[in-house]
Amino acid sequence: MSVATLRRRLRAFTLVELIVFIVIMGIAAYALLSMFRQTLPRSPSPSQLTQAAHCAQERMELILGRRVALGTLGLVRVWITDAGGTQLAELHSLLANY
């Protein structure tokens, strides 16, 4: 066997390797599709997502309305910390009046 033939043989895939790869990928695809098929009926419908967004918006307006009524609307401080809890920065901002 020549060196060129040996190199070509080492670089190429055999038919058995290709078939094994296709079978493994088919099994993986079947598993993923069966998982998606199980979770799809439990996912919320677009109308449920819209209703949840409206409820969240109403709740946020209620919270901001209470802040205005109590006179606590004003300076907000946000502390940025790392994973260990060390304070890295402090941000100040004023909330807009509604």
| pLDDT tens digit at each of 98 positions of the chain | 677 776 666 677 788 999 999 999 999 999 999 988 888 777 888 888 889 888 889 988 888 887 766 665 555 555 566 666 665 555 544 444 43
**One-character DSSP codes across 4-56:** HHHHHHHHSPPHHHHHHHHHHHHHHHHHHHHHHHHHGGGSPPHHHHHHHHHHH
What counts of helices (H) and strands (E) characterise the chain?
3, 2
pLDDT value for 29: 96
Q: What is the pTM of this model?
A: 0.38
At residue 97, the pLDDT reads 43
Contact in structure between 50 and 58 (CB atoms under 8 Å):
no
Domain boundaries defined on the chain? 1-43, 45-98
